[in-house]
Structure 1
């Protein structure tokens, strides 16, 4: 199959026809194939290309098409490809070599896709990092990955300044959300920051000029303007080379780097593309507010937009007012999001349903989609909103509901083309019958190579070629999968994974706390929120003051979404005979 045929509609239909021929033979083992939308193939041929082929291919076929829309500023695919090349050249000038790790800590601004593809074109590995991480969280990822360079917002440089005292970083590249704004907004940006009481970047021009390891991304890009890019040899990345380290707690709560290869990420992007057979290549606009540093936003947002030659409507953070304004102005047709986003938009829009009627398809991920939210959003917008499922270790999507009337509320849907899935009896290690409960197991071309520098944990997550998801579920006779219970103890708040042990480790550091347990409790907006149950040491009383002290203490150690929103004091915590806390018996008596 030629490169161009992978995105050619006619040849995609041919693939589908070939797949349909073989579907009958597979139907006894893969009952889900019967429910695929017309035009969705059973299997996908993955080309032997690095992930950068996505951008190369689209830029060559649609050079003048808009790639990014950022508060009115537009970047074409030809320009995006050129900027990525410039950044790759700049990284090589800074000494980046094939296989080096480069941390990327940015929100959804144009600098993200530029840096992401620039890093890959330079032959390096992208270390995905949440720009809102605390010093402790960031230090762990940088030291564990061995990242030599970090690309980040200037506002948060003080965190890295402290880290540099204990961690060897070769270079720090800073940028600002205003760098790609239209001229007028660029001038007004500092004023809006002051009005929003956002502190100015604690980085002086003096420090920037005197530190040879500090660089402005904009300066690096301008150094390599189109006519003066020095000829440089880009290393030829192989499809099985690692492209991204996506940090996750996996199923154990220990932050680990998921090794995703170029092939893994390319496969999942092609799978997402195949799941949307009615999409008009080169004519769609994707609302990209789900963060790219999250595996879901990376694949279903950024990379899927590129393979579709769609315009990425970039928003660096979710604010319902800003999102509605952007939808009203730019009329996006696709909106990959998380349930809390759909809830917030419905609350904000009210009866002005026309504000959202440009949206055609939404795949909801990162958290369970409440049936009522699905129904109300579809009724309000006329769009199709379906639930999907995945995990970082799978690049990340493995299942999704069809974007047709075959969609089933409460189900995570059908396995993607090329993905094998089964329900396994945890005790016997054998598959169970339809309708029986067990652990969801998956395998396919999008499944990770393992955990970075963690051989034992990599071995533990695989079983005879299948990967454990840690989620308990079932499959019905027609091949639809259902999650009954998420990975043990995992809390999903606003689409982000939170591991109780991480929260508890911080709580135990507080001098007044004797025992602590963190659990997830239902939350109408976030899906779940963190509740902490605390036993105080003798001499300490459960007052409002100490509650506020504990919350303030947590804010110093944890990202904001991990900080407990509910605190309850107890005389003791329920435990097993061997002393293990029984989380399932912890119930919130009142909301905070």
Structure 2
């Protein structure tokens, strides 16, 4: 694994929102690991973050808002040190892997920090997954313990399970544990890929990676400072949400609002207004829900927001403009992967090109290659390859998959893109998104972007299917903006729009109205299910 750069953090104050903090100066990049004030256990993420809060005077500043309770940075780190003792008493030792299946909460944060303090590895999973998925991940990762929440009483045998509220209750009377030695390359956590095209794969990240996420994205691109307040619709078990709501607040002295379940649009309104949120992170489908049914344009509840970030999928054409109109701030699109840990290509406050995923994040290299691995010139479509300091070295227990995806320190992302001469990238979907219709390769994203402009369409997905005569046809699955009274008229209108603006072989032959589209817990469209036409 290529060592990331060393990042020296100095206290910074961001201006009061909605104005953005000033452009940061370039930071020197020696070898990984901070130097300076003596630490209890340098290199251990939990110990380093506690020291950082102490040195910069953040211990009494808000770190997390949950329900109507505010937790300071000092409280979180102190509780995590005590929770580490409880986990150690349950047999958790350095190098052990522990399943973390909790909703977003201070319990999640302190459990993660406690495991880091012990030199153990947290296996981050969506708590709402079915038991079969949790069983697979627990076995695949070889966990020795699981920290779970309500409704997960059947996960793992009783002797291998600890409930999150039980952990915190015991921590209140426990003595703080000393941090265990850990280098920047010591395993810190495992996240599983979304599994949109097959079995999820376990990806290992290390104690030095979160600091790189903050330095390259949080500090340089988003200019996050102590006065910022974050709300991430994407959850902590997801790479995007982990950086947004855990890494960035703890490395900047700022705070984040934690919500157990994905908030509704009305809940987002209320949370932003109540906590004076300055940074909003979400996915395109959630942004679409936020702007739906709002005919009055900009909403006063978003007056504190200084920037909105979108990832997980490409922002549909036109949606970014509507979100900007609603929030009154730019929408900064970015693209990342579980294998990299966060974004590797992103728009920033100083350079934002709507409709693109921006330029490579500082510290990362991005290339476009054709199917034979040759470089692709500007203006032509190719597959994205990325190389950088936080790139994983491989998947758990999958050497063949690792060899296919990782070559010479580069990751084949399987994302398709086009690069402009100024280095800005346009995301064109996944290599496995393409459909074959009558022997011609078709991108459903192009068709969807056209049909989404129909006023009766809220969401749409297009896939190829084989009819009773064996011919390949396109079908559009539509989530209507309002209840449909005349399905035939809606179908005629959508097909008519396609005929006006698309080549004949790109016109869907049928339209099916559905209540929702199949998505992963992180908001990505599950195209294999769309192709089958059942979910």
Instruction: Name the TM-score, length of structure 2 as normaliser.
Output: 0.75
Determine which of 160, 169, 181 is the counterpart of 1:219: 169
Q: Deviations over 1:510-558 (max 9, x none)?
A: xxxxxxxxx999697996669897999xxxxxxxxxxxxxxxxxxxxxx
Tell me if 1:54 matches 2:4: no
Q: Which residue of 1 aligns with 2:333?
A: 387
With over 3 angstroms needed to count, the CA separation of the structure-2 counterparts of 1:443 and 1:43, relative to structure 1, is farther
How far did 1:9 drift? 4.7
In structure 2, C-alpha distance between the alignment counterparts of 1:486 and 1:244, rounded to whole Å: 26
With over 3 angstroms needed to count, the CA separation of the structure-2 counterparts of 1:244 and 1:532, relative to structure 1, is farther
In structure 2, C-alpha distance between the alignment counterparts of 1:172 and 1:531, rounded to whole Å: 42
Q: Secondary structure at the match of 1:478?
A: coil
Q: Deviations over 1:475-498 (max 9, x none)?
A: 11110112223141499xxxxxxx
In structure 2, C-alpha distance between the alignment counterparts of 1:530 and 1:175, rounded to whole Å: 42
Matches within 5 A, 1:417-456: 417-427=362-372, 429-456=373-400
Q: Which residue of 2 aligns with 1:409?
A: 354
Matches within 5 A, 1:168-567: 170-175=159-164, 216-224=166-174, 229=175, 232-248=177-193, 253-276=198-221, 278-279=223-224, 281-317=225-261, 318-347=263-292, 350-351=295-296, 353-404=299-350, 406-427=351-372, 429-489=373-433
Bigger shift: 452-461 or 339-348? Answer: 339-348
Determine which of 512, 515, 519 is the counterpart of 1:590: 512
Q: Which residue of 2 aligns with 1:18?
A: none
Q: Deviations over 1:140-196 (max 9, x none)?
A: 001100111111112232x41xx53xxxx74212246xxxxxxxxxxxxxxxxxxxx
* Aligned partners of 1:108 and 1:288 also within 8 Å: no
Q: Secondary structure at the match of 1:392?
A: coil
* Aligned partners of 1:67 and 1:76 also within 8 Å: yes
How far did 1:328 drift? 1.5
Q: Deviations over 1:323-353 (max 9, x none)?
A: 2111111111011111222222223665371
Q: Which residue of 2 aligns with 1:209?
A: none
Q: Secondary structure at the match of 1:126?
A: strand
In structure 1, C-alpha distance between the alignment counterparts of 2:434 and 2:276, rounded to whole Å: 36
In structure 1, C-alpha distance between the alignment counterparts of 2:219 and 2:512, rounded to whole Å: 46
Q: Which residue of 2 aligns with 1:544?
A: none
How far did 1:396 drift? 2.1
Q: Deviations over 1:94-123 (max 9, x none)?
A: 110111001111121111111111111111
With over 3 angstroms needed to count, the CA separation of the structure-2 counterparts of 1:256 and 1:3, relative to structure 1, is closer
Determine which of 125, 128, 132 is the counterpart of 1:136: 132
Q: Which residue of 1 aligns with 2:96?
A: 100
* Aligned partners of 2:50 and 2:74 also within 8 Å: no
With over 3 angstroms needed to count, the CA separation of the structure-2 counterparts of 1:388 and 1:147, relative to structure 1, is same
* Aligned partners of 2:311 and 2:334 also within 8 Å: yes
Uncovered stretches (5+) of structure 2, i.e. residues with no partner: 14-21, 34-42, 436-443, 469-505, 515-535
With over 3 angstroms needed to count, the CA separation of the structure-2 counterparts of 1:380 and 1:127, relative to structure 1, is same
Q: Secondary structure at the match of 2:218?
A: helix
In structure 1, C-alpha distance between the alignment counterparts of 2:384 and 2:285, rounded to whole Å: 25
With over 3 angstroms needed to count, the CA separation of the structure-2 counterparts of 1:348 and 1:54, relative to structure 1, is farther
How far did 1:587 drift? 7.0
Bigger helix share? 1
Q: Deviations over 1:347-386 (max 9, x none)?
A: 3665371011211111111111124221122122222211
Equivalent pairs counted in the alignment come to 437
Uncovered stretches (5+) of structure 1, i.e. residues with no partner: 11-36, 177-215, 492-518, 537-583
With over 3 angstroms needed to count, the CA separation of the structure-2 counterparts of 1:233 and 1:331, relative to structure 1, is closer
* Aligned partners of 2:230 and 2:244 also within 8 Å: no
* Aligned partners of 1:7 and 1:307 also within 8 Å: no
Query: How much is the aligned-residue C-alpha RMSD, in angstroms?
Result: 3.2
In structure 2, C-alpha distance between the alignment counterparts of 1:263 and 1:154, rounded to whole Å: 32
* Aligned partners of 1:151 and 1:173 also within 8 Å: yes
* Aligned partners of 1:41 and 1:417 also within 8 Å: no
How far did 1:585 drift? 11
